[in-house]
Amino acid sequence: MPPSASPPTTFGQLPPSRWPGERLGLPDEGPLSVGRAGRRMLGLLIDYALAMALAFAVFRYTFLNYNGFVVTGTYVLLQVLFIPTIGGSIGHRLVGLRVIPLAGGWVGPWRPIVRSVLLGLAFPALVWDSDQRGFHDKVAGTVLVRG
Indicate whether 84 belongs to any domain. yes
pLDDT band at 12 (very low <50, low <70, confident <90, very high): low
Give me the amino acid identity at 107.
V
Indicate whether 66 belongs to any domain. yes
Indicate whether 56 belongs to any domain. yes
Indicate whether 37 belongs to any domain. yes
Indicate whether 7 belongs to any domain. no
- pLDDT at residue 5, as a whole number: 52
- pLDDT at residue 142, as a whole number: 95
- Count of domains forming the chain: 1
- pLDDT at residue 17, as a whole number: 82
Q: Is the pLDDT of residue 110 over 90?
A: yes
* Lowest model confidence (mean pLDDT) among 43-47, 99-103, 121-125: 121-125
Cα 120 from Cα 68, distance rounded (Å): 11
Alpha helices in 7-140 (DSSP H): 37-59, 68-86, 90-94, 110-120, 123-126, 135-140
pLDDT 10s digits, 32-84: 999 998 999 999 999 999 999 999 999 999 888 889 899 999 999 999 999 99
35 to each of 62, 71, 82, 90, 97, how far by Cα in Å? Answer: 33, 25, 18, 15, 6
- pLDDT at residue 58, as a whole number: 95
Mean pLDDT score across all residues of the chain: 89
Q: Percent of the chain beyond pLDDT 90?
A: 67
Look up the pTM and report it.
0.84
Domain that holds residue 133: 27-146
- pLDDT at residue 2, as a whole number: 47
Q: Is the pLDDT of residue 18 over 50?
A: yes
The three-state secondary structure class of 143 is strand
Cα 126 from Cα 119, distance rounded (Å): 9
Indicate whether 9 belongs to any domain. no
Q: Sign of torsion, CA 5 10 13 17?
A: positive
DSSP letter at 145 equals E
Indicate whether 2 belongs to any domain. no
Indicate whether 31 belongs to any domain. yes
